[in-house]
Amino acid sequence: MKSTTAEVDPGSYLLSRTVDGFGFAKQEQSNSTEALSKNRPVDDHPNDRHGSQEQKRIRKWRKMIGVGGSDWKHYVRRKPHVVKRRIRKGIPDCLRGLIWQLISGSRDLLLMNPGVYEQLVIYETSASELEIIRDISRTFPSHVFYQQRHGLGQRSLYNVLKAYSVYDRDVGYVQGMGFLAGLLLLYMSEEDAFWLLVALLKGAIHAPMEGLYQAGLPLVQEYLCQFEQLVKEYLPMLGEHFTQEMVNPSMYASQWFITVFSYSFPFPLALRIWDVFLYEGVKVVFQVGLALLRFCHDDLIKLPFEKLLHALKNFPAEAMNPDKLLPLVFSIKVSKRLEEFKREYEKRKERPLPHSLPPLSSSGIPIHNLAGLE
């Protein structure tokens, strides 16, 4: 289904104006998603020595999903392990937008709600409009699609965020949502991106994410508590070092959950994480976090407070290499422990807090300070 708003393909726009392999301006020696990617998608090199192998991989994916995704559900039911393995190896960039819609359940939402996006964008008003306008230029400011003031990218991002703030007035708009929508718009139309955002926050396939953005950030609080427990269990020496240095996850990991690594991670790695995140759920965020800490364990455990915080926000390039980090990510099993931690957390939450104190994270940090976006 076509978007009823401006009919422009962001992908073609990026190809015509690309700065690096993903459309980001060049920034030397930076680890952020706004930095130069040295790992262009293999799809972009059909004539190199990997080209024939990559084209073969793309043909496999096309056969798996069928025309417009018509065979997807049938294939997933028949061969779920094949699908999981292929997604973990990385979705071909030329098919990523369509696959993301299929694995998130957003394509079904779009087809069941014709005309809704147009209604939200054109005929409704949002109490968050000024906030959205203020933050637009802060979302991937070095990406060519979003650089032009009031240009196509900024208008599309505004429309999607405004539409969601009207669609779910209880959540409205929170700054971190812009990075999710901004990433999605690089691979699909406004309407498609909107429904994928709905699928994520409302839980079309996996647990709803809206608690990451509700007042008090309740789901951020829960995830940070669980992550702190995982660190102590899986990396006990590092966990003890964090305790001694008074470093807790709210100081470095909040944005990992709020933006699903789209805010500060190299784009090639962020995309591979999103491939898995949309299919397997939020557990991969915990796995990536633990894998990074394990990868850098021997260095982190030697650092004092200030240097430790800096290191936790500036991981070395080697740790950001998808081919090196992701095998470690997938070797870490967390599903059962997360379920147990969730039950424990919910039991603790039922105990009333003293009325004179603000609600705290597990580490004693007021929850209004957990956003972590700078």
| Span 281-330, pLDDT tens digits | 999 999 999 999 999 999 999 999 999 999 999 999 999 999 999 999 99
A 10 A CB-CB count for 248 gives 20
pLDDT at 368 over 80: no
**pLDDT band at 19; cut points 50, 70, 90:** low
CA–CA gap between residue 197 and residue 162 (Å, rounded): 12
Tell whether the model's pLDDT for residue 240 goes beyond 70: yes
Alpha-carbon gap, residue 147 to 154, rounded angstroms = 8
Of 284, 279, 293, nearest to 338 by C-alpha is 284
Q: Bigger pLDDT: 369 or 291?
A: 291
pLDDT of residue 84: 97
346 vs 139: CA distance, rounded Å: 34
Does pLDDT of 129 surpass 80?
Answer: yes
- Average the pLDDT over each of 111-120, 340-349, 352-361 and give the range with the smallest value: 352-361
- Give the model confidence (pLDDT) of 41-64 as tens digits: 444 454 555 678 889 999 999 999
Q: Which tens digits make up the pLDDT trace of 55-107? A: 999 999 999 999 888 899 999 999 999 999 999 999 999 999 999 999 999 99
Residue 114, phi-psi category: left (phi > 0), alpha (psi -120 to 50), beta (remainder): beta
Distance (Å, whole) CA 117 – CA 188: 14
Are 188 and 101 in contact by the 8 Å Cβ rule? The answer is yes
pLDDT tier for residue 11 given thresholds of 50, 70 and 90: very low
Instruction: Determine if residue 211 is left, alpha or beta; phi over 0 gives left, psi from -120 to 50 gives alpha, anything else beta.
Output: alpha
Chain segment 253-288, per-residue pLDDT in tens? 999 999 999 988 999 999 999 999 999 999 999 999
108 pLDDT band, cuts 50/70/90, is: very high
- What percent of the chain is modeled with pLDDT above 90? 73
What is this structure's pTM? Answer: 0.83
Q: Band of the pLDDT at 350, cuts 50, 70, 90?
A: confident
Report which of residues 142 and 279 the model is more confident about: 279
